[in-house]
Structure 1
Amino acid sequence: MHAAISAVDDTDRALVHALQLAPRASWERLGPVLGARPDTLARRWERMTGAGEAWISGLGLRTGNQSPCMAWVEVTCAAGTAPAVGAALVGDPHTLGVQHTTGARDLLAFVAVPNLHTLYRYLSFRVQRIPGVGATRSSMVTAVHSAPDRWRLDQLSPLQIDQLTGRTRRSTSSAALAGPAPSNMTEEDRPLVLALASDARRSVASLARETGMSESTVRRRLGRLEAGQGLRYSCAMASGVSGWPVSATLWAEVPEHEVADCAAAAIGLRETRTCMSVSGPWNFMISARLRTIAELAHYTSDLSRRLPAMRVTDSAVALHVRKSEAQELDQEGRRVRTVLPDIWTEPTRAA
């Protein structure tokens, strides 16, 4: 049972920020950077994770060397059925995010599957057959310019950030941003990846016991997947205690030849959490974390000033984020449970 009053303070937020930068770093490594004893950091993390106020998840959704087929799905529901429809979608492994929103749709879901045919089956034989669903509209993700795991809190100093990342500020503007070529994810890797979905700080020994692999095999596979970005870690904090409680989504039109420049400018804004090119009525989609609802107007205005070629066509505020990156959340944004993101399962089994 979650406590009614949270004990989270700025030191806890600094710890989460540090783990966003170095998710599997030891407490001994984090201690000098944060000015705290390793055992103190471990106790703080155990308290937050136990209360659902913070967590680190692992996601690896590739199929071989192919990225997953991803889509944003807008769902319109019959009156009074949106909570039940949302609950049904939250339980599906293929739907990684679900939120009740303002605007023309009742629900906005983020779906990931191995290929287009699986997406067709999931939408046609699962989503559209949930009682209460009136209509759906899908927008395929054609490019991910910034993913949720790159969004950071703002508790650490530039020096602390450099200590954890092992790089200078100048290196972020160099070709180093491109990173290594994506690595393949084999079927044999999937049990390891799924074992990290609820807790990406699990020890190698624990992962070896669960997957039946040797510890050396686990280390080798983790190293390969991490180096090739086939496995991404995401450290998150409950929105109600993070200082950034409001989630908003914007849709926009951008000239195709200016998409890259617009994406770079949008990512440069502190509030931007994700930025994607999509198919459908509009070709650009941005999600943001805000401190207050009133900041949405300022954020949209800032985007328009920086991106004169972009025309914002629609926006929505999340009334309740029920699921994010495979984690089911309560109304305060605290984690309730992990829904195993086994996107390779047959979609009709969820029916």
Structure 2
Amino acid sequence: MHPTDTALPPPATPGPTGLAHDDVTELSEIDLALLEALQLDPRAPWSRIAAVIGIDATTAARRWRRLSDSGVAWITAYPARHASVVGYVDLSCEAAAVDSLTTRLRSWGPVFSLERTTGEHQLFLGVAARDLPSLDDFVTRRLGGLDTVRSVRLSICTAVHREGSGWLVHTLNERQRADLRGGESHGRTRPGTGPYESDHRLLVALGADARRGHAELARECGLSDTTVRRRLRRMITGGEVYFRCDLTQRLAGWPVIANFRIAAPGPGVEAVAKSLAGLPETRLCASVTGRDNLLLSVWLRSPGDCAALEERILRRHPELRISERGITLHTAKRMGRLLDRDGRGGAHVPITAAACPA
């Protein structure tokens, strides 16, 4: 039986806030172990996950339902090559327009991530585009053309050394992780050529909930169960899709996001990037264009840890220059998932690559 075909208790009834009455206000050690198991193998059967963390399959399924219904955790999927070009955009606007601009931009498909930050630029965006002209058009015409926008700064991603699907809660021991990693690869291999155009409906359905069973996916996509199984197997084994179990970071104990712009002199940039990507705090490490050729985003337990991490990095790599550092005040969108003020996941906006007008 597929993991999502396991019998689950009925969903909790939403309250006035849109969250379930059985709201989650803290995460237990079992919850954290369950989440890390799903980070390692997001579509593993409940029986396999339960065996690794020491509970029964029904309990594992019930705990996941409670976490997902409350928006505390969610599993999504997206193409490993969700765009030919990815840009990171720093945007400054009139102070009074931050709220309305955040609301507007988080509904845009090409804006796959959106954070409100400290510093000169109030907003930090991840943008997907079909090609360089399309990225130029999106940034200059669509973003730059908004009335309240004062300035836009663009960096183009040239390599990703680590992204959020590789970050772990770090609750399981090495033996437990090895047991889970013994299964199929789930998007952590080097990406292939990318899913076919005909896979689009399947990816949209998985983006909303990547633990959906084959039968449910088949009904929603108008495909046969066999076709869904075959296409999904091809995408997974080919490294064409990332599966990602994400969570409300405040409840998990990492409430702070810090972003660093780093200048790394060459040669040896690749080795430095791999070192930074290997830090347990790292959520994103990417090579980008510009004087500051590395972008580093980390999760921390307190704002004070920002300086301590910076010192640790420079002690290991004294040749680096950290020219900018900022704290994220609110994440409005993360890889297509809309987040509320508490960081709980809500609706999913499918990621689309910006394209020049025909």
TM-score (norm 1): 0.91
Structure 1 residue 249, shift from structure 2 partner: 0.4
Q: Where does residue 11 of structure 1 map in the other structure? A: 30
Of the structure 1 ranges 73-82 and 212-221, higher mean CA displacement relative to structure 2 is found in 212-221
Question: Per-residue CA shift, 1:263-287, capped at 9, x if unaligned?
Answer: 1211221111110000123111100
Larger mean Cα displacement after TM superposition, 132-141 or 122-131: 122-131
- Which one-letter code corresponds to 2:58 in the other structure? D
- Matching of residue 332 in structure 1 with residue 351 in structure 2: no
Partner of 1:258: 268
> Is there any run of 5+ residues in structure 2 with no aligned partner, and where?
1-17
Matched, 1:54 2:73: yes
Q: Report the CA distance between 1:348 and its aligned residue.
A: 6.9
Question: Does residue 243 of structure 1 match 2:253?
Answer: yes
Matched with 1:281 is: 291
1:274-333 CA distance string (max 9 Å, x none)? 100001231111000001111001111111112222111110100011111111111111
Q: Which amino acid aligns with 1:261?
A: A
Residue matched to 2:180: 164
SS in 1 for 2:331: strand
Deviates more, 1:157-166 or 1:118-127: 118-127
> C-alpha distance in 2, partners of 1:261/1:309?
13
Amino acid at match of 1:151: W
Distance 2:290 2:106 in 1: 24
Cα deviation digits, residues 81-105 of structure 1 (max 9, x gap): 1111111110100001111101110
Contact preservation (8 Å) 2:80, 2:191? no
Residue 36 to residue 347, structure 1, CA distance change in 2 (3 Å): farther
Deviation at 1:179, TM superposition (A): 4.0
Aligned position for 2:211: 201
> Relative to structure 1, is the Cα distance of residues 291 and 348 closer, same or farther in structure 2, using a 3 angstrom cutoff?
farther
Q: 2:146 is matched with which residue: 116, 130, 140?
A: 130
Distance (whole Å) between structure 1 residues aligned to residue 28 and residue 155 of structure 2: 39
Look up the match of 1:171. Answer: none
Correspondence for 1:108 among 84, 107, 124 = 124
Q: Partner letter of residue 69 of structure 2? A: G
Report SS of the residue matched to 2:268.
helix
What's 2:322 paired with? 312
Alpha-carbon separation, structure 2, partners of 1:88 and 1:178 = 32
- How far 1:131 moved relative to its partner? 3.2
2:332 equivalent to 1:322: yes
Identity of aligned residues (%): 32
Aligned to 2:3: none
Q: Write the deviation string for residues 219-253 of structure 1: whole angstroms up to 9, x where unpaired.
A: 11111111122100110111121111111100010
1:47-126 mapped onto 2 (5 Å cutoff): 47-60=66-79, 62=81, 68-126=84-142
Q: Is the 8 A contact 1:75 1:107 kept in 2?
A: yes
The answer to whether structure 1 residue 25 and structure 2 residue 60 are counterparts is no
Q: Distance in 2 between matches of 1:82 and 1:7?
A: 30
Per the normalisation by structure 2, the TM-score is 0.89
Pair 1:23–1:31, CA change in 2 (3 A) = same
The CA deviation at 1:184 is 3.4
Q: How far apart are the structure 2 equivalents of 1:181 and 1:58? A: 14
Residue correspondences, number: 336
Indicate the residue corresponding to 2:157 in structure 1. Answer: 141
Alignment match of 1:228 (pick from 230, 238, 245): 238
Counterpart of 1:302 in structure 2 is: 312
Tell whether the 8 Å contact from 1:94 to 1:347 is kept in structure 2 after alignment.
no
| Distance in structure 2 (CA, Å) of the matches to 1:61 and 1:343 | 13
Amino acid at match of 1:256: G
- Secondary structure of the residue aligned to 1:188 is helix
- Alignment partner for residue 186 of structure 1, among 186, 190, 196? 196
Q: Which residue of 2 aligns with 1:170?
A: none
Aligned equivalents of 1:46, 1:78: Cα separation in 2: 41
Question: Deviations for 1:57-89, whole angstroms, at most 9, x for unmatched residues?
Answer: 0011537xxx52101100100121111111111
Q: 1:204 to 1:95 in 2, by over 3 A?
A: same
Q: Deviations over 1:128-185 (max 9, x none)?
A: 2233111101000011111111011011011110111029xxxxxxxxx994661432
2:64 to 24, 39, 45: 45
1:280 partner letter: G
Following the alignment from structure 1 to structure 2, what is the Cα–Cα distance between the partners of residues 338 and 347?
24
Which residue in 1 is equivalent to 2:13? none
The amino acid that maps onto 1:43 is: R
- Do the aligned partners of residues 240 and 178 (structure 1) sit closer, same or farther apart at CA in structure 2, a change above 3 Å counting? closer
Q: What secondary structure is seen at the aligned counterpart in 2 of 1:315?
A: strand
TM-aligned CA deviation for residue 121 of structure 1 = 2.1
Q: Structure 1 unaligned segments of length 5 or more: list them.
A: 168-176
Question: What is the alpha-carbon distance in structure 2 between the residues aligned to residue 258 and residue 316 of structure 1?
Answer: 26
Q: Deviations over 1:17-49 (max 9, x none)?
A: 000000000101111101111011111111111
CA distance, structure 2, for counterparts of residue 179 and residue 38 of structure 1: 28
Q: Where does residue 173 of structure 1 map in the other structure?
A: none
Using the alignment, how far apart are the partners of 2:303 and 2:222 within structure 1?
48
Contact 2:71 2:344 in 1 (8 A): yes
Between 1:130-139 and 1:180-189, the stretch displaced more is 180-189
Amino acid in the other structure paired with 1:75: L
Inter-partner Cα distance in structure 2 for 1:73 and 1:184: 24
